A = this chain, B = another copy of it.
Amino acid sequence: MQINVETKPVGSAAYDVRKKRLVETIDRLYLRDARAPLQKMISRIHPADMAAILDDLPPAHVVDVFHAIADTRMAADVFNQLPVDRRTQLLTESSIEKLAGVLEHLPPDDLADLIGDLPEDQREQLMALLGRDSKDEVESLLQYDPNSAGGIMTTDFFSLPHSLSVEEAIENIRSREDVEMVFYLYLTDEMGRLVGVVSLRQLLLTRAGTPLHKVMNRRVMKVTTDTDQTTVAMLVDKYRLLAIPVVDEDNVLVGMITVDDVIDVIEEETTRDMLKMAGTSESETLTHSALKIASIRLPWLLAAFIGGLAATAVIGRYEEILGQVLVLSAFLPVIMGMAGNVGVQSATVAVRGLATGAIDVKDTLPLVLKELRVGLALGGFYGVILGIYGFFVHDSLQLGQVVGLTILGNMTGAALLAVLLPMMFQRLKVDPAVATGPFVTTAIDILGVLNYFVIATWIYRL
């Protein structure tokens, strides 16, 4: 965390202009091989902006310009904020030796994540080049599940013995300039166990000489290393914390998770949910291989494929009526499409509501009843319109009745299924996002087609 980084008020247009100019200047300096002015210029740019600038440079210049960052700490900050693509490029196109000096300055949690994602051989090479301390920290972090508190915490936190006095604490803060954000001071006993917390503000307001344990708050909100990252995010959000300490099973303080990491968790979980709902997974964003992406999407599509074949088989059984009333097949797209669309609407509302906590499993019945009414209203509306269309355009009362009734039934059923399935999944502790993709769509398709032909057989009395 750092403060106060931009020179200009931030309006996105002005910002874009400024960035574009910086990109051009830096690229020009690079092409002229003006190393000293380039380094000087770069040193004055905020790491977050430098990352954005690198992303905008011609790809062939990125590695060299990156290594023109003179300060390895800044380089680490920049690296940490580069998009995945550019990071991969740097990892593959520059020598591991050259990078190791930079990567050592990454926060231990980020370094561990990076190393965890590397292929086996690069991982060992890089580990061998790290300093003893970094290596130990990374190794201890790598043992945690990446989606747990242990996997996202930083070990680079600040804690003090609770027996110190206020001035001693301040003296300590003075001497440790490099640690991440110290607005909460976690206090430990002689065994390293978390016993309390003091905010910087309290420290500032307490008279000198007071021992910390007299002013500390003993009711520390904390999580254990194996707490799920979603729970951590939920807690930090709910209690509006800036950071939360992480303890092991003996209550020994082992790490800290800051609110900026929580924002990343929230973004990551949402992306995961959305991709799952669409029937793919976040792994596809990590690769450029079309075949690999296809292989990630393939199994999800299989459910839809089998469902489609089942619908094909259903229609096959009704070939007789299709032969007599050819126009029935023309209405298949609109009938299937409308049910599918209302299903996606209902499912999205349910899945997102469950994810944000706006909806609770205990609300299942009222929710289902609500969706039933919504489905009936929409189905009624479009049923009447499609019925009239069928009647007038094809001059057949029977056709109008069939398509009108079908769309009423299918839209209502789709709305109902699309809210019921996620709620059911949530109750069974299965991720409801899974329910929404091919699963619901397929169920809606098959039932919808079946309903269509049952109604058609009935109305045409075949």
On A, residues with C-beta under 8 Å from B are 1-7, 9-12, 46, 48, 55-56, 81, 83-84, 170, 173-174, 182-184, 197, 199-201, 203-205, 217-224, 227-228, 231, 235, 237-242, 247, 251, 259-260, 262-263, 266-267, 270-271, 274-275, 277-280, 284-285, 288, 290-291, 293-294, 297-298, 300-301, 304-305, 307-309, 311-313, 315-316, 319, 322-323, 326-338, 340-342, 344-345, 347-349, 352-353, 356-358, 360, 362, 370, 373-374, 376-378, 381-382, 385-386, 389, 437-438, 441-442, 445, 449
| Nearest CB of chain B from residue A50's CB, rounded to whole Å | 12
Q: Secondary structure at chain A's binding surface: helix, strand, loop or mixed?
A: helix
Q: Nearest chain-B residue to A264 (Cβ)? A: B237
| Nearest CB of chain B from residue A184's CB, rounded to whole Å | 6
In the complex, are the beta carbons of A9 and B222 less than 8 A apart? yes
Q: Nearest chain-B residue to A183 (Cβ)? A: B183
In the complex, are the beta carbons of B2 and A349 less than 8 A apart? no
Contacting residue for A48 out of B239, B247, B300, B449, CB 8 A: B239
In the complex, are the beta carbons of B345 and A280 less than 8 A apart? yes
In whole angstroms, what is the CA distance A285 to B346 when docked?
11
| Nearest CB of chain B from residue A20's CB, rounded to whole Å | 12
In the complex, are the beta carbons of B200 and A381 less than 8 A apart? no
Contacting residue for A333 out of B174, B183, B227, B312, CB 8 A: B312
Q: Nearest chain-B residue to A446 (Cβ)? A: B333
Number of identical protomers:
2
User: Given that A81-B238, A238-B81, A356-B271 are contacting pairs, would A263 and B260 also be in contact in the complex, using a CB cutoff of 8 Å?
Assistant: no
30 contacts between A and B (CB under 8 A): A1-B240, A4-B217, A4-B219, A9-B224, A9-B247, A48-B238, A84-B358, A182-B201, A183-B200, A242-B242, A259-B263, A267-B356, A275-B349, A275-B352, A278-B347, A285-B353, A290-B373, A290-B376, A294-B377, A301-B378, A307-B337, A308-B335, A308-B337, A309-B389, A315-B330, A315-B332, A319-B327, A333-B445, A337-B445, A340-B441
In whole angstroms, what is the CA distance A420 to B128 when docked?
45
